[in-house]
Amino acid sequence: MPDSIYSQFCPVAMATEILGSRWTIILIRELCAGSTRFNDLRRGVPRMSSALLTKRLRELENHGIVERRATDNSAGQFEYHLTDAGKALTDIIVAIGIWGQKWINAELQLNNTDPSLLMWDMRRSIRRDLLPDRRVNVQFEFTDVTPREAQWWVVCDPDQGVDLCLNDPGFDVDLYVVTDIKTMTAIWMGLESVSKALEVDKLHLSGDTEVANAMSEWLGLSLFAPYPKEK
C-alpha cells in the first residue's frame, strides 16, 4: 500500500490507510485471539499465502502494531506479539465482529466451512476448567467432509492445555461427537444450540455421559455468539 491513498487528516482515514489492505483485519483478529507463531497464524488465515503473511507482518511491525521477538529457544524461532497500539485494536475487531454477527446472513459461509479452521477456532474457546480434572479426549467426526479432514481429536489436559490432532493420538476416547460440518459451525457461532441439534438428530454424542451432558458448558463458543441477529 502506497504511503497515502486517501490523503485525509481524519483519523478514520489515517487508520484505514493501515488497516484497509486485504487480510490485515483478519490477521489482526488472529493475533488478538492469541496466536503468536508464524505457522499458528497461518492456521488462522489458511487462505493467505505465506509470502503475503510475511509482508503484512512486516507492515504491521513498521507501524508499531506488532513486535517480532526471537524466542530464547535456540534457532530461527520467532514470535509475533501485539504492541500496546496493537492491543488497542481489539475494540475495532470486536465492533466489526459484533456488527457482522448481527447483520450478515451467514448462510453462504456456513455452506463453505473449512473444517481445519473451525477446529482451530473451537480448540481455542474450549473451557477446560469446566471439564473433569483429568485428561479428556474428544473425537469429532464430520459426516460430510473429505476423509482427510473428517476426523479430529481434541485432547484436553489439565497440565498441557488443549491440543488439536488430525491424527489419532492413541488415547482412549471419552466422547465421540458425530455431526455435519454446518451444524457444528452453526453451534459454535451461536446460531444453533447443542440441545436443539441433538433433538433434530443432527448431532450425535456417545461415550462418557458426564462429558456429553456438559458439552454446552465446556464447548465455549465464538466471542460473538451472544449477539442475536437483527432485523
Q: Which of 98, 164, 165, 214 binds a copy of itself (CB under 8 A)?
A: 98
Confirm or reject binding of residue 129 to a copy of itself (CB under 8 A).
Answer: no
Interface with a copy of itself includes 103 (CB under 8 A)?
yes
> For residue 162, which amino acid is it?
V
Strand order in the sheet with 175-179: 161-165, 151-157, 136-142, 175-179, 203-207
Please pick, from the candidates 17, 19, 23, 125, the single residue that binds DNA as defined by CB under 7 A.
23
Q: Does 74 bind DNA (CB under 7 A)?
A: no
Q: Which sign does the torsion angle of CA 169, 172, 178, 184 carry?
A: negative
**Contact between 160 and 140 (Cβ < 8 Å):** no
* Set of cell numbers at residue 25: 483485519
Judged by CB under 8 A, the stretch of 35-43, 92-100, 126-134, 159-167 that binds a copy of itself is 92-100
Tell me how far apart the alpha carbons of residues 164 and 140 are, in angstroms, rounded to a whole number: 11
The cell for 161 is 492445555
- Taking CB under 7 A as the rule, which mask of x and - marks residues 200-229 in contact with DNA? ------------------------------
One of 4, 15, 37, 169 touching DNA (CB under 7 A): 37
* Rounded Cα distance, 152 and 140, in Å: 5
Site membership for DNA, residue 38 (CB under 7 A): yes
Per-residue interface string for the shown chain with a copy of itself, residues 10-29, x marking contact by CB under 8 A? xxxxxxx-xxx-xx-xx--x
**Of a copy of itself, DNA, none, which one sits near residue 70, judging by CB under 5 to 8 A according to partner kind?**
none
Q: Which partner in DNA, a copy of itself, none is near 114 (CB below 5 to 8 A by kind)?
A: a copy of itself
Residue 73: phi, psi to the nearest 5?
Answer: -45, 140
Binder of residue 39, out of a copy of itself, DNA, none (CB less than 5 to 8 A by kind):
DNA
- Chain contacts with a copy of itself (rule: CB under 8 A): 3-16, 18-20, 22-23, 25-26, 29, 47, 64, 84-85, 88-89, 91-104, 106, 108-110, 112-114, 117-118, 121, 185, 189, 222, 224, 230-231
User: Interface residues with DNA (CB under 7 A)?
Assistant: 1-2, 5, 21-23, 37-40, 47-52, 54, 68, 76-78, 80
